[in-house]
Each structure stands twice: as structure tokens, then as C-alpha cells.
Structure 1
Amino acid sequence: MSRQYPDFPRVGVGAIIWKNGFVLLIRRAAEPRIGQWSLPGGLQHLGETLAEAITREIREETALIVKLGDVVAVADLIERDPAGVIEYHFAVIDYEADWVFGEPRPGDDAAEAVWADPMHLAPFDLPKIQQDVISKALSRRRNSIVL
């Protein structure tokens, strides 16, 4: 089951993990986008629910324990090669999560993990779609009423 030049779309999951107003970013250790900063996430495995998939990916990539929240965004990620052939195709479901325990330890598909100020993400050169998801999650947090 190749991610590159797939026969059908893959289901991906991502997480906007919050700790004291900061968001967790990872530097990718594998394609697609190796070496680039990203939100933690990966592919759903056969037999997993979406919530199980993102919880597993967070644990594998960061070793963190989190409290999973709501879905923040659903998006298509379709990338074509220079010849116009679909090289990657993912349907991605992004969840919000709150840090509970642990220090980020990069593993699996993550080479590095850092807590970043969501208002100063330019140095990380995140894909626009992920910048938009973080902005949406931040806006939701600011507009939520805590009882």
C-alpha cells in the first residue's frame, strides 16, 4: 500500500495539540514533505476508528498523553508531480487535543518536536492548509465559553 502514486485516497489524521497556549509541531522524518515542519499525524490503519488512529499517531510521534477533543477540520490534500500525475492523495481529519502528560520525544515519522507560539509560526514554514487549521482551532478556543 504505497502512499506515493496511490490507487485510491488514503485517510489521514492530524492533531492540533495545545499546552499553555502553545501548539506542538513536528519536523517530518519521512515523505511526504520530509524535513518540513508539520502537525503530528499519519494514516488510519484498518480496523481503527479515527480517534484511535490520531491517539496512536500522537503517541508514536511525540510520546505525549493527550485529551482528544473535537474535529476541527476535514480537508483534501492532493499533490501532483510535474507531469500532472497524482503523487499523493489524502483525506485528512484534524482533531484538537490538550496536553495531559509528558515531554515531546520525537519518534516514528518525527525527527524533532517543539512547542510553538501559534501567533509566530512563520519561521516554521508550515503548509498553508495547516496554518489555516491552527488559526481555526485558535479562533475556536478564543470564542469558547468555559464554565
Structure 2
Amino acid sequence: MTVRPTVAVLAVVLRGDEILLVRRANPPDQGLWGYPGGRVEPGEAYLDAALRELNEETGIEANAPALLTVLDFIEHDTAGALAHHFAMIAVACRWRAGEGEAADDALETRWFGREEIAELGATASLRVGYLADLALSARVP
């Protein structure tokens, strides 16, 4: 079986000095805190996908999406064969409305300060702190 990269988005939403995280309901990262997001649909622009996934998972409305970075998550099975490859496009978004209600792929939503994110440790997905730092330094206008 050939494994092809899956293109997905992460919506990194800022509200003042707070950042929105969701606790994931499904694999990958089931039960961990991370950013709302999911697969880019065929024919969908990645910026639109980030806003759509954000709204589907949390009910939050945002605007001003801007590319933060692209992260590769590549996993191999025990035999060394490629098992998964996700190309995750992280998009900074400016909060417009909504407090965040868990829906779709989210068990829970919460606004975090940067220090609180640092304290999540193993309960957070990989690179959550890194993306928080990028978003806070970018400050989407």
C-alpha cells in the first residue's frame, strides 16, 4: 500500500494574549490538547479550510487567516515502513466571535495563556508551544 501525504490545516486563533485549544476526540492525538483543524477538502483553499474547520469544531468565527508555517508529521511502523504522513499547514487567525463549544472532532475547548500551554506537557500535541510562540510573535492584525 502506498501512503500519500495528507494535507491538513491547524487554526491557531488569538484573542488578545489567549490562544484557543481543543482536546481532540479522535486519532491522531485523541485526548490531547491541540489546535482545531482537519483535512483540506479537494478544491478548497487552505485558508478557507482553516476557518471552516475552526467553525465546525468550536463554533468560533475568525478572520484574517495568515500562513504561520507548515509542519510534517511522519510516522513509520515497527518494520520501518511509512505509516502516516501529514503535511499540517498552521494558519494564524484573528478571533471575531464565540467562546468555543466542543463539536465535531473536539471533546473540549478552552482559551489558554502562553504559560498555561507550557504547563500542558504530555497532555498537548507535538509543537503546540512552538506554534503558540509563532502566533504570538506574528500578532495577526
- Alpha-carbon deviation of 1:6? 6.5
Aligned partners of 2:3 and 2:83 also within 8 Å: no
Supply the distance in 1 between the matched residues of 2:16 and 2:100 (Cα, whole angstroms).
14
How far apart, in 1, do the equivalents of 2:40 and 2:85 lie? 14
Flag the 1:120–1:71 CA change in 2: closer, same or farther, 3 A: same
What does the per-residue CA deviation read over 1:93-128, in whole Å, with 9 as the maximum and x for residues that have no partner?
111111111120111111000000023313323234
Match of 1:129 in 2: 127
**TM-score under structure 2 normalisation?**
0.89
Q: Aligned pair in 2 of structure 1 residues 88, 135: CA closer, same or farther (>3 Å)?
A: same
1:22-61 equivalent positions in 2, closer than 5 A? 22-61=18-57
| Structure 1 position 47, deviation (Å) | 1.5
For residue 69 of structure 1, report the CA deviation from its aligned partner: 2.6
Residues 18-38 of structure 1 show CA distances to partners (whole Å, capped at 9, x for unaligned) of: 112100000000000100110
Residue matched to 1:140:
138
**Following TM superposition, by how much is the alpha carbon of 1:50 offset from its aligned partner in structure 2, in angstroms?**
0.7
Distance 1:40 1:114 in 2: 11
Runs of at least 5 residues in structure 2 that lack an aligned partner in the other structure: none
SS in 2 for 1:57: helix
Give distance in 2, aligned partners of 1:129 and 1:87: 20
Amino acid at match of 2:91: Y
**Matched residue SS, 2:73:** strand
Aligned residues: 139
- Gapped regions of structure 1 (runs ≥ 5): none
Q: Any idea what SS the aligned residue of 2:31 has?
A: coil
RMSD: 1.9
Contact 2:23 2:33 in 1 (8 A): yes
Q: Structure 1 segments of 4 or more deviating over 3 A?
A: none
Task: Give runs of aligned pairs for residues 63-142 of structure 1, distance below 5 A.
Answer: 63-125=59-121, 126-141=124-139
Percent of residue pairs identical: 34
SS at structure 2 position matched to 1:120: helix
State the 1:75 CA deviation. Answer: 1.5
TM-score by length of 1: 0.85
